[in-house]
């Protein structure tokens, strides 16, 4: 910096909660360190006369510091006079493209710094949100709670940056001992390493030859006087252990070359290998890893949640028919087996009645489904880089919705006597529903393979082709019995979808070039993958068979989810004062069932023999 500045101060501070609950995080504007932005009056961008000067931004651990130079214009002179007389004492910034993680602002772009008439604020203030945009982020006015300072000497040619001090009231300069005592362990280790290396360089004659060798220089370090005199020190200046060996430049170059080799696992392993092979380094640097830089999070804030595929959940919950009542009764009149036909009359004969119609009735009442968890209050207070409570609620909400969606499709998988089971009488699984509502059909791979032998299947096609043809044939035949409302979707495992897509002929050409082609062949609206279907089987009492689920065909509008007011997804929290922890509950109360007979199709594979022999079921 080679120009004289008029005032300096904090443009914005971090780790201070704003009035709207947001917190500016450290280094949110670090990419603008050293940039110059305009200084204007009270964020008025409509008049060029409101441009008062410019500000040089400096990113610091506590926020963004600004050095301001006023223009030699009337408005610039007025602003300089107002600041000199302390009529104006606050900075404010206009920041756009704000990116947040929870309530934490982790990135933004400062477009200008303003002088503002602001009162004594207890912290930074988000004064107004100017615009919103999903691509740009928010733009906001952020007022600093710190007063800026003046340069009192007109003769100063360049600013002396003032570091933030624990106590601004104490102007006394720190001694070297005070500075060293304020360092962290890692900072001290790094300093010891650098000083030791410098001494080793001096020992090797690498200091400037013109540097006096006979002047005595005394340094106050840890209240000890170190006399360098005419000799070079062999010990680390800050250690009392003595005779500690340091790395030379030749050592460093050899280690770097070792790390470049193909069989090397990186710099750290190369360093350990080199030290083990060179006697003078084996005990030279203890805990060398403390000199390495700290690990940096690639994605600051809340950790990414690794989950099973959740894409099907919205298809199920959003696609299902909703009612504001949860006690459901369905009534259907079955006239298929009754002889309901008009009859011809023969003169003199008695007329007879038509056959009886069978009335089918089913009732379904609700059940509460919940997830519960807890967090220690100490942990909530200590975790500052993201909102751990909202993060926990998000995970609980995801788990609750996934469990409901699986209960609707295939059941929760728990045994009947399990105290935590979602009862199949309250949320009726489509796969396990009665044959009156779900059509169950087996895919016969052996029969399809035999059927295709006439086309020399083994020579021209692979196993995937047989799977695909068997699936398509059985699903289309079963659609002849289907009585649902149409526009069905296929829910199947990702593996089953890939098996069908990989069907090829002898020349390697795929039978179905895309998912859309396969969708048309199956005559469905969409194919939705559910990895949770993998390996799911059920026992069939008739013949003591074991059936593996391959896919479900259903229009979710034929499935009703009922919930009364208050039964929707709700969240609760409570504080246990005895154990200093928060408890969280998220629950819903609902019922679910197919409402149309023959409105779903379940394709299955008979795996009785495989399960009996312990073979892997695909």
> Rounded to whole angstroms, how far apart are CA atoms 403 and 398?
9
If phi > 0 it is left, if psi is from -120 to 50 it is alpha, else beta; for residue 397 that is alpha
> Rounded to whole angstroms, how far apart are CA atoms 539 and 419?
21
Query: Six-digit token pair at 199?
Result: 């001494």
Beta-strand pair 36-41/104-116: parallel
| pTM value surpassing 0.85 | no
Query: Six-digit token pair at 557?
Result: 């509008």
Regions of the chain with pLDDT less than 50: 1-2, 119-136, 152-171, 206-244, 612-617
Q: In which residue are the tokens 């006690």 written?
A: 327
* Strand ranges, E, within 102-204: 104-116, 125-131, 138-147, 149-150
pLDDT value of residue 299 = 80
According to DSSP H, which parts of 120-184 are helical? 176-181
pLDDT value of residue 123 = 44
- Find how far residue 338's CA is from the centre of its chain: 59
Which CA distances in Å does 69 have to 142, 146, 320? 21, 19, 64
Beta-strand pair 23-24/104-116: parallel
SS3 content of the chain, % helix, strand, coil (to 5): 25, 30, 45
Largest CA distance in the chain: 145
Helix (H) or strand (E) holding 463: helix 463-478
- Which residues 6+ apart lie within 8 Å of 25 measured at CB? 14, 15, 104, 105, 106, 300, 385
- Residues 113 and 11: beta-carbon distance below 8 Å: yes
Kindly report, residue by residue over 3-27, the tens digit of the pLDDT. 678 888 888 888 877 766 778 889 9
According to DSSP H, which parts of 126-217 are helical? 176-181, 185-203
pLDDT value of residue 497 = 92
> Rounded to whole angstroms, how far apart are CA atoms 375 and 579?
11
- Residues 28 and 14: beta-carbon distance below 8 Å: yes
Half-sphere exposure (CA, 13 Å, Cβ side) for 512?
A: 22
Q: What residue segments make up the domains of the chain, in order of their start?
A: 7-150, 232-293, 313-339+355-618
- Residues 97 and 24: beta-carbon distance below 8 Å: no
pLDDT value of residue 202 = 55
Q: What are the two backbone dihedrals, phi and then psi, of residue 290, each rounded to the nearest 5 degrees?
A: -70, -15
Q: In which residue are the tokens 């200590």 written?
A: 382
- Residues 37 and 94: beta-carbon distance below 8 Å: no
- Residues 104 and 114: beta-carbon distance below 8 Å: no
> Rounded to whole angstroms, how far apart are CA atoms 288 and 272?
9
pLDDT value of residue 457 = 58
Quick count: other Cβ atoms within 10 Å of Cβ 178? 10
Q: What DSSP assignment string belongs to 239-296?
A: -SS-------HHHHHHHHHHHHSTT---HHHHHHHHHHH-GGGTTTSTTGGGGSPPP-
Query: Six-digit token pair at 443?
Result: 């895919």
Query: Six-digit token pair at 361?
Result: 């009735």
CATH homologous superfamily of domain 313-339+355-618? Answer: Major capsid protein gp5 (3.30.2400.10)
Residues in the chain: 618
Beta-strand pair 438-442/600-606: parallel
- Residues 325 and 562: beta-carbon distance below 8 Å: yes
Q: What is the DSSP letter of 207?
A: S
pLDDT value of residue 195 = 65
- Nearest CA among 373, 391, 404, 403 for reference residue 305: 391
């Amino acid at each position: 910096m080679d120009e004289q500045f008029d005032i300096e101060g904090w443009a914005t501070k971090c780790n201070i909660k704003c009035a709207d609950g947001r917190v500016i995080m450290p280094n949110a504007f670090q990419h603008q360190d050293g940039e110059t932005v305009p200084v204007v009056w009270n964020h008025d961008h409509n008049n060029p006369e409101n441009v008062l000067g410019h500000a040089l931004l400096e990113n610091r651990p506590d926020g963004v510091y600004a050095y301001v130079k006023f223009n030699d214009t009337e408005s610039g002179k007025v602003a300089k006079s107002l600041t000199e007389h302390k009529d104006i004492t606050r900075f404010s910034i206009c920041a756009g493209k704000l990116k947040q993680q929870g309530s934490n602002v982790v990135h933004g772009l400062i477009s200008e710094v303003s002088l503002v008439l602001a009162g004594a604020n207890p912290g930074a203030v988000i004064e107004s949100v100017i615009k919103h945009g999903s691509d740009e982020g928010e733009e906001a006015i952020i007022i600093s709670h710190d007063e800026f300072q003046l340069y009192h000497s007109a003769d100063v040619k360049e600013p002396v940056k003032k570091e933030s001090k624990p106590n601004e009231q104490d102007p006394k300069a720190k001694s070297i001992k005070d500075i060293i005592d304020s360092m962290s362990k890692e900072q001290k280790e790094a300093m010891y390493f650098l000083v030791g290396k410098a001494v080793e360089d001096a020992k090797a004659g690498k200091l400037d030859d013109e540097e006096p060798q006979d002047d005595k220089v005394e340094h106050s370090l840890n209240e000890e006087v170190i006399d360098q005199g005419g000799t070079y020190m062999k010990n680390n200046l800050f250690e009392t252990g003595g005779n500690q060996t340091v790395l030379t430049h030749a050592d460093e170059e050899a280690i770097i070359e070792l790390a470049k080799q193909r069989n090397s696992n990186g710099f750290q392993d190369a360093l350990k290998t080199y030290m083990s092979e060179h006697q003078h380094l084996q005990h030279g640097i203890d805990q060398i890893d403390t000199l390495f830089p700290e690990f940096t999070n690639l994605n600051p804030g809340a950790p990414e949640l690794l989950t099973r595929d959740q894409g099907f959940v919205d298809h199920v919950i959003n696609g299902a028919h909703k009612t504001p009542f949860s006690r459901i009764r369905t009534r259907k009149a079955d006239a298929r087996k009754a002889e309901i036909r008009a009859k011809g009359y023969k003169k003199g004969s008695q007329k007879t009645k038509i056959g009886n119609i069978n009335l089918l009735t089913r009732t379904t009442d609700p059940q509460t489904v919940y997830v519960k968890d807890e967090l220690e209050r100490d942990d909530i207070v200590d975790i500052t880089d993201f909102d751990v409570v909202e993060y926990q609620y998000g995970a609980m909400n995801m788990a609750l919705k996934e469990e409901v969606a699986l209960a609707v499709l295939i059941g929760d998988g728990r045994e009947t006597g399990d105290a935590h089971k979602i009862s199949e009488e309250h949320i009726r699984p489509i796969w396990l529903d009665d044959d009156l509502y779900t059509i169950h059909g087996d895919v016969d791979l052996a029969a399809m393979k035999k059927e295709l032998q006439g086309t020399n299947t083994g020579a021209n096609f692979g196993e995937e082709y047989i799977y695909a043809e068997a699936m398509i044939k059985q699903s289309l035949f079963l659609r002849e019995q289907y009585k649902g409302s149409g526009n069905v979707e296929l829910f199947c495992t990702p593996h089953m979808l890939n098996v069908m897509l990989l069907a090829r002929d002898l020349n390697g050409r795929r039978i179905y070039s895309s998912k859309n082609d396969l969708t048309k062949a199956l005559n469905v609206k969409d194919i939705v993958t559910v990895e949770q279907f993998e390996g799911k089987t059920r026992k069939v009492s008739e013949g003591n068979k074991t059936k593996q689920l391959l896919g479900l065909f259903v229009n979710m509008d034929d499935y009703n989810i009922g919930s009364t007011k208050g039964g929707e997804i709700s969240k609760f929290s409570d504080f246990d004062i005895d154990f200093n922890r928060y408890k969280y509950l998220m629950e819903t109360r609902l019922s679910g069932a197919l409402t149309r007979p023959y409105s779903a199709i379940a394709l299955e594979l008979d795996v009785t023999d495989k399960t009996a022999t312990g073979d892997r079921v695909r």
